[in-house]
Amino acid sequence: MKTKVLNLLLILIFCFSCTAQDENDNGNKIVQRITYSTGLNNAFTDLVYFKDQFFLVYRESDKHVFGRDGVIKLLNSVDGKNWKLIKDFAVSGVDLRDPKFAVNNDKLMLYIHGSTYEDKTLVKFADFRANFSDNWSKLENVTLDNKIKTTAKFAGNEAWPWRVTWQNGKAYTLGYNGVDIFRLYNSEDGLFFKSDSKVYSNVALPTEATIKVSPTGDFYALIRRNYASALFQKYDKEKNEFVTFSELPFTNFGGPNFVFLNDKKVLFSGSFGYVLVGIYDLETKQYKIISSFGGGDCGYPGIVIKDNFLWLSYYASYETKGGSSIYIAKINLEGILAE
């Protein structure tokens, strides 16, 4: 009961904060709406800056789930203001979802998940990758070793590799299946992933998770749990597992994402009634919310920090009849980073 009350108070605070900031923009925060299609569910974004241009990606369908199979839209921009559609990705009979960029040194990749349904029942997981180097011309299959016993009754990959992170030429992802798998996978080529020897579980089974590497080379993860608070974890080399060092009081924190500002502070984002942006201090284990956006069905932010500005992609339904739209926010971090 206490958790529900706290969550409600936080939503009300963030709601007021979002409205006030949108109405009293002093030049430190600019929001641009990218899509305007009534009745379409445009959602699940990601954002990257690579080779002097921004890339924005999102899913388009008529429903959040169990509607028309999702199509992935890829756009680019040199200034962050003028966007051009450069590629559609579609796979017959597969609902493409949650596209995520990954950078390996001078290589940019796009990972896309696919779900197949029969009568609103999940029957198969599939995953794909496209490469910037071949002008995004094709999708390659991404597979898991499927060595884990699961009670989930669907074919294909045993888990959903939600976001891929590269470090020293090796790819890592925390995959989940929403039933009984939440596990670290790794890959030498970013196409075939092997599971490790540990199953990471908590009181509430984790789902979406982002792994990032700190300036000191340590692995951190920000993890969503559907019925419990979000987790910050750090990889413990001796225990060979991610260990929780902090919880954030955001239940069902959708699309968790973060970047390191330095070796002591992290900028994080995700959805909790609104799209929240906060700063987390790894030393004090304290956080503060610096901004909030959108409303309704919303979230799944992409993060780019460039020239002391935060560029944030996200989706929100609060002003789109019968659907949701894609947005880009630009926040001046100069004063925030100086604190």
Give the pLDDT confidence of 210-240 residue by residue, as tens digits: 999 999 999 999 999 988 999 999 998 888 8
Identify residue 230 by its one-letter amino acid code: A
Cβ–Cβ < 8 Å for 15, 274:
yes
Give the pLDDT confidence of 173-217 residue by residue, as tens digits: 999 999 889 999 999 999 999 998 666 655 578 999 999 999 999
Kindly state the average pLDDT of the residues 318-337. Answer: 93
Confidence of residue 96 (pLDDT cuts 50, 70, 90): very high
Give the pLDDT confidence of 268-286 residue by residue, as tens digits: 999 999 999 999 999 999 9
pLDDT of 14 > 50? The answer is: no
DSSP per position, 247-294: EES-TT-EEEEEEESSSSEEEEEEEESEEEEEEEETTTTEEEEEEEE-
Which pLDDT does position 239 carry in this prediction?
84
Give the pLDDT confidence of 119-174 residue by residue, as tens digits: 999 999 999 999 999 999 999 999 999 999 899 999 999 999 999 999 999 999 99
Which pLDDT does position 4 carry in this prediction?
42
Confidence of residue 16 (pLDDT cuts 50, 70, 90): very low
Which pLDDT does position 28 carry in this prediction?
84
DSSP per position, 151-177: ----EE-SSEEEEEEEETTEEEEEEE-
Sign of CA dihedral 118, 122, 123, 129: positive
Give the pLDDT confidence of 36-57 residue by residue, as tens digits: 989 999 999 999 999 999 999 9
Which pLDDT does position 199 carry in this prediction?
60
As a whole number of angstroms, the distance between CA 232 and CA 252 comes to: 14
As a whole number of angstroms, the distance between CA 278 and CA 266 comes to: 8
Which pLDDT does position 20 carry in this prediction?
29
Confidence of residue 23 (pLDDT cuts 50, 70, 90): very low
Kindly state the average pLDDT of the residues 295-310. Answer: 96
Strands 121-131 and 155-156, by their bridges, are parallel
- Mean pLDDT for all residues in the chain: 90
